[in-house]
Structure 1
Amino acid sequence: MRHRSLLIMTTAITAGALTLTACGSRDGKDSSGDKDQKTTVVIGVDAPLTGSLSALGQGIKNSVDLATKIANKNNEVEGVTFKVKSFDDQAVPSSGKQNATSMVDDEEILGMVGPLNSGVAQSMQGVFNKADLAQVSPANTNPALSQGDNWASGKKERPFQTYFRTATTDIIQGRFAAQYYYNDAKKRKVFVVDDKQAYGNGLAKIFAAEFKRLGGQVVGTDHLTVKETDFSGISSKVKSAKADSVYFGGQYPEGGLLSDQVKQAGADVPIMGGDGIYDPAFIKASGTSNDGDLATSVGYPVEQLDSAKTFMKNYQAQGYKDPFAAYGGYSYDAAWSIIQAVKQVVNDNDGELPDDSRAKVTEALGKVSFDGVTGKVSFDKYGDTTNKQLTVYEVKKGAWKSVKSATFKD
């Protein structure tokens, strides 16, 4: 399906309170010559807003909402008012695909932020690409999303021009984690577990390859199923293998329980995972102390960045019910990149949105560059972030604490 011409919805405030239809003019003027109208541009948001990962999803949605509020307050794009329309995928790929179709059908949506899960993103990419609708994920880390299925063999090819992300990939995160485990934590015998999902499986493979390259041993591997709760079998294997550590590719609901049961089985070893377990809910999911467990997450701790102070202040001022969580800063930057792309498109078209706004916004995103909440925001030829900063966090006294931040270098 080719992208249909965008029909801009505008509302004319006249003496008769006349409301224009979708056939209204794109220049923001009605027949009476009112020049004070604003065109509405909607940014779609897709994330798990309910279910076990809603703690992360709500933070994504709220942070995008904050970006649009700031843009409107500052009149960032003259003649344009930004709004948010959110969709709940519950971390289910089929739901994400349905949401993608709904966003494509909504002609006011010129870009979207999300999703959280790489597996969900895989189901959405083709839908968005056919409609020239740009998506910017603040959380996806699977390399194949931007570099194609053959990225590991060095044959990188961008499958969808509409896909971007502000989070760095697992190529970076997995290797960074392995280097910390081997060089800093001095671990030598790791047991690797994944949840069989696109994100978890890919991350675990990259970690294991780098750990072995450094000289460490992978003394065992196993898989678990999402929403499963009994990991006693895996825990026994970890103990029998005499592993000095565990690496888990997956999300916090299963990760917290796995950590709990490994320790209950008598294996007093830390569990490390990626950004999927970096959330207070990981600690809450466990009935045994998680002190010593580790996680990597993209970027530097938001609270330690001077660039994030205003974001944190503004977020708090809005009184959102949920915290911005692990991906708040990246979600704000994702939304702001779309806003800046819209701004460029409007400026290049004499202050108006063109008929092919979606395609033009996608094109403009590739050239975006600004200082964001999480640092410099720009994209490479694959749509990946150029920001390769990461942080290792450790559970200390029942809370995540940063222990090392660095820019990844090969």
Structure 2
Amino acid sequence: MFSVRNRFTLGMTLVAALGLQSQLLRAAGKDIVIGVAGPHTGANAPFGLQLWKGAEAAVKDINDAGGINGKKLRAVKADDACIPAQAKSVANKLVNTEGVSAVVGHFCSSSTIPAASVYRENNVLMITPASTNPRVTEDAAFKPRDCSGITDAGKKAKCELQNHSVIMRMCGRDDQQGVEAAEFVHKVLKAKKVAIVHDKDTYGQGLADAMKAHLKTLGQQPVIYEGLTRGEKDFNALVTKIKAAQADAVYFGGLHAEAGPLIRQMREQGLKAAFISGDGIVSEEFVSSAGGEKFVSGAYMTFGADPRKLPNGKKVVDSFRKTGYEPEGYTLYSYAAVQAIAAAIKGTGETRDGRKLSKWLFDNGADTVMGKQNWTQKGDLQKSGYVMYVWDTKGKYAEVGNKL
């Protein structure tokens, strides 16, 4: 029978073996493996499909152009279903079993945050196309070091390398997005009574809180601030409460699965208040979940400037459309994330050291279908402007026309 010490030693040996297995897989494999993690099942699977379609197309295009440093890319799909515990398990599998060189994902911030801890521990680069909660890159343990006093070149380079996070984004942050929404509601819509609703999730509540905080700086307090539960579909009692408060604008922090029924029930009860949300509804599934185009017509949402209109991505967009797929939402964000990863691997010749890859991206930036992208040491984009969109009677969204 094993003693406690023997069991501990055996456990540590297994952990070391798994880490070694991961390194060997990445070093000796014929392909450079990239994980694509997101909700490939469940209510948010449409967003997972966007991530997969974008990454899959980028991998194919890069391989058709000759690959990277004599090797081909290979994408591995990993389903976290937007469940935090599952996301962490998925991250461990990608690192220790698949031997990934980098990860595109995750989608839900509540899943990205726990998964990111795994990538940090294993020095694996992760670029999320969609997770906007500030906590994703605001790692409490990440404290930049002062390397200025180090005279030894090798030690200084090593010190500076530690100042680059392996957790990065190809999207903006909620503390930017919420601000823009508040400005629009207050200055453009001139709403006097604003109801703020969220889904109690890291992303949704974080977005709602950012909007509420900036609204306060503009001299307004919400008439209602409430959370609903993900997965529920009957929000009539909440709508009745919003009506009683005479709200002329309703801001929702959350995803399309709840936003759709909420706006439908608002309209069915005769509530004509403006409906505003964030990038969690940037999918035509918002129309389906609402029950049709007539319910979403006139709804607003914040999202980055439509990458489908950028000249850098025209060829890629045309290629998608020829296959019958419209690269909406985060499709091109995911494509761009693969491009950034590929550029860093090509530039460094490195497939195992996430910090070297992230430092290269910080130093050089990357040309993508969304234009030239540059990052901070924390992994946030240096520029990530949001614009306002409005849904029309045909169930399509387009920019309102004014950059916020």
Taking structure 2 as the reference length, the TM-score comes to 0.84
Greater CA deviation, 76-85 or 124-133?
76-85
Q: How does 1:135-284 map to 2 (within 5 A)?
A: 135-148=126-139, 161-284=165-288
Percent identical pairs in the alignment equals 28
Report the CA distance between 1:284 and its aligned residue: 1.7
Q: CA RMSD in A?
A: 2.4
User: Which residue does 2:319 correspond to in 1?
Assistant: 314
Q: What SS is found at the alignment partner of 1:78?
A: coil
> Structure 1 residue 50 and structure 2 residue 41: aligned?
yes
Q: Distance in 1 between matches of 2:140 and 2:274?
A: 32
Q: Distance in 2 between matches of 1:270 and 1:370?
A: 39
2:307 to 290, 302, 307: 302
Report the CA distance between 1:358 and its aligned residue: 4.2
- Normalized per residue, which structure has more helix? 2
User: Which residue does 1:28 correspond to in 2?
Assistant: none
Report the CA distance between 1:171 and its aligned residue: 1.0
CA contact under 8 A between 2:164 and 2:355: conserved in structure 1? no
1:386 to 366, 369, 382: 382
User: Which residue does 1:27 correspond to in 2?
Assistant: none
1:367 to 345, 363, 366: 363
Spell out, residue by residue over 1:60-84, the C-alpha distance to the aligned partner (whole angstroms, 9 max, x if none): 1111111111111222523111110
User: Which residue does 2:77 correspond to in 1?
Assistant: 86
Greater CA deviation, 56-65 or 158-167?
158-167
Q: What SS is found at the alignment partner of 1:46?
A: strand
Runs of 4+ with >6 A deviation: none
One-letter code aligned to 2:319 = N
Spell out, residue by residue over 1:160-207, the C-alpha distance to the aligned partner (whole angstroms, 9 max, x if none): 922100100011111011111111122221000000000000000110
Q: What SS is found at the alignment partner of 1:168?
A: coil
Q: Distance in 1 between matches of 2:97 and 2:198?
A: 37
Q: Distance in 2 between matches of 1:366 and 1:107?
A: 27
Q: Distance in 2 between matches of 1:109 and 1:207?
A: 37
Q: Structure 2: state its 5+ residue gaps.
A: 1-14, 143-161
Q: How does 1:19-38 map to 2 (within 5 A)?
A: none
Structure 1 residues 120 and 279 mapped into 2: Cα distance closer, same or farther (>3 Å)?
A: same
User: Which residue does 1:395 correspond to in 2?
Assistant: 391
User: Which residue does 1:286 correspond to in 2?
Assistant: 290
User: Which residue does 1:337 correspond to in 2?
Assistant: 340
One-letter code aligned to 1:303 = R
Q: Structure 1: state its 5+ residue gaps.
A: 11-21, 25-38, 152-157, 347-352
Structure 1 residues 269 and 70 mapped into 2: Cα distance closer, same or farther (>3 Å)?
A: same
CA contact under 8 A between 2:165 and 2:377: conserved in structure 1? no
Taking structure 1 as the reference length, the TM-score comes to 0.83
CA contact under 8 A between 2:105 and 2:127: conserved in structure 1? yes
CA contact under 8 A between 2:67 and 2:73: conserved in structure 1? no
Structure 1 residues 360 and 8 mapped into 2: Cα distance closer, same or farther (>3 Å)?
A: farther
Report the CA distance between 1:126 and its aligned residue: 1.1
One-letter code aligned to 1:301 = D
> Structure 1 residue 96 and structure 2 residue 87: aligned?
yes
Structure 1 residues 316 and 106 mapped into 2: Cα distance closer, same or farther (>3 Å)?
A: farther
Q: Distance in 1 between matches of 2:260 and 2:34?
A: 33
CA contact under 8 A between 1:173 and 1:296: conserved in structure 2? yes
> Structure 1 residue 404 and structure 2 residue 395: aligned?
no
> Structure 1 residue 68 and structure 2 residue 85: aligned?
no
> Structure 1 residue 325 and structure 2 residue 328: aligned?
yes
CA contact under 8 A between 1:273 and 1:294: conserved in structure 2? yes
One-letter code aligned to 1:285 = S
Report the CA distance between 1:125 and its aligned residue: 1.1
Report the CA distance between 1:241 and its aligned residue: 0.5
